[in-house]
Structure 1
Amino acid sequence: MQDQRNAELLTRAHHGDQRAWRELVDRHIRLVWAVARSHRLSPDDAADVNQTVWLILAENLTTIRHPERLSAWLTTTTRRESLAVLRLRGREQPVDLWDSVDEDEPTPEDLAIGLDTDSRLWRAYTTLTDRCRQILHLLAFAPETPFRQVADAVGIPANSLGPTRGRCLEVLRRRLARMEVVR
């Protein structure tokens, strides 16, 4: 069943074939989870997004225009659902810095340095092209996702993903180095 194309699986799932539906889910579940978790959702919120995405797919089995790009469709749908959850629930997690100090926890100074480093990294990241941001995002937050699936999600050939990722990382390194000099 693994060599079946998405179009055939979507059609069979629409006609009630549970094996086809399971194959679709098995092929893409890690991608959907990875995209949801990459938005820093709680495990419960990520589970809700995951469930919603599969429901949306079930409702749209016959309306997917490009079945060969199902990974990209699922990535976009998961991203949209994750952002909707974030809008509803917010991202802030209150932390009491004055609570009992634990020697293993970072100090406020460590947190400030980490935030500064993170801020510089994200500023450099936002200057990358959309394709580079997509590739680095998926590979960073879903390292277990097969290259072929990541390549499908961003719309490039699988054998181009490694070199493209390398070029994207090199651009990111140069921009971070430039920011360090400017500081």
Structure 2
Amino acid sequence: MDSNTEVLEGWRSGLCGWDALVERYSRLVWSVPRSFHLSHADAADVYQCTWLCLAEHLTRIRKPEHLARWLVRTATRQSITVLRTRGREVLLDLWEPESTAPTPDEVALTNERQRRLWAALTTLNERCQRLLRIAAHSPELSYAQVADALGMKVGSVGSTRSRCLAELRRKLEDWR
């Protein structure tokens, strides 16, 4: 089965289509909660909730060609819900040997760089933010998969990404 339509119809008629959907979009769905910097456990919860929502709403999907976009939006909503309910917790690994732990100066420098990067990213338009998050957290995705997830033309993914990265670099240089 190739197209989303065939896979969805196969699943609805009792054929094995679910595994094909999960295999096709697993990395994309997983990349969304990771782009929100959720813990592994929280990202796994979002991942599972996204697939559960799809199972619950599968019969209502009218445009199978937009399934990737639907999955990204659902995972995004789930991730935001997790952030709101659990907040940004920083868990300390008490089993980590002290010798490998970064120094306070290293932590402060890293945190400042990350703060600047994320602050600059949030000043970009939503399309650039989503594109760069997917590119950062799922570099193995093809341009076709990224285009499908973002509702873009395949031919515009590379040039749009280049423009977004250039804009991000300019903003970071302005903040120095």
- Shift of the 94–53 alpha-carbon distance from structure 1 to 2, 3 Å rule, reads closer
Query: Aligned letter for 1:136?
Result: L
d(CA) in 2 for partners of 1:83, 1:16: 33
Q: Tell me, which stretches of 5 or more residues in structure 2 are unaligned?
A: none
1:65 aligns with 2:62: yes
Alignment of 1:147-162 (within 5 A): 147-162=143-158
Q: Indicate conservation of the 8 Å contact 1:45/1:85, yes or no.
A: yes
Alignment of 1:109-128 (within 5 A): 109-128=105-124
User: 1:131 corresponds to which residue?
Assistant: 127
User: 2:168 corresponds to which residue?
Assistant: 172
d(CA) in 1 for partners of 2:173, 2:23: 41
d(CA) in 2 for partners of 1:101, 1:49: 30
Pairing partner for 1:14 from 12, 15, 20? 12
State the TM-score, normalized to the length of structure 2. 0.89
Q: Indicate conservation of the 8 Å contact 1:11/1:61, yes or no.
A: no
Q: Deviations over 1:144-183 (max 9, x none)?
A: 2222111111111112111110010001111111111xxx
Q: CA RMSD in A?
A: 2.3
Identity %: 48
d(CA) in 2 for partners of 1:119, 1:15: 49
**Worse-matched range after superposition: 102-111 or 164-173:** 102-111
Q: Indicate conservation of the 8 Å contact 1:135/1:165, yes or no.
A: yes
d(CA) in 2 for partners of 1:94, 1:73: 31
In our comparison, the structure showing a higher alpha carbon Rg is 1
d(CA) in 2 for partners of 1:156, 1:35: 17
Query: Aligned letter for 1:72?
Result: R
Q: Indicate conservation of the 8 Å contact 1:11/1:62, yes or no.
A: no
- Shift of the 115–15 alpha-carbon distance from structure 1 to 2, 3 Å rule, reads same
Q: Tell me, which stretches of 5 or more residues in structure 1 are unaligned?
A: none
d(CA) in 2 for partners of 1:32, 1:163: 24
**Worse-matched range after superposition: 35-44 or 169-178:** 35-44
d(CA) in 1 for partners of 2:119, 2:33: 22
Query: Aligned letter for 2:141?
Result: T
Q: Indicate conservation of the 8 Å contact 1:13/1:61, yes or no.
A: no
SS at match of 2:141: coil
Kindly state the Cα deviation for residue 45 of structure 1 after the two structures are TM-superposed.
2.5
Aligned pairs, number: 176
d(CA) in 1 for partners of 2:100, 2:53: 44
Kindly state the Cα deviation for residue 67 of structure 1 after the two structures are TM-superposed.
1.5
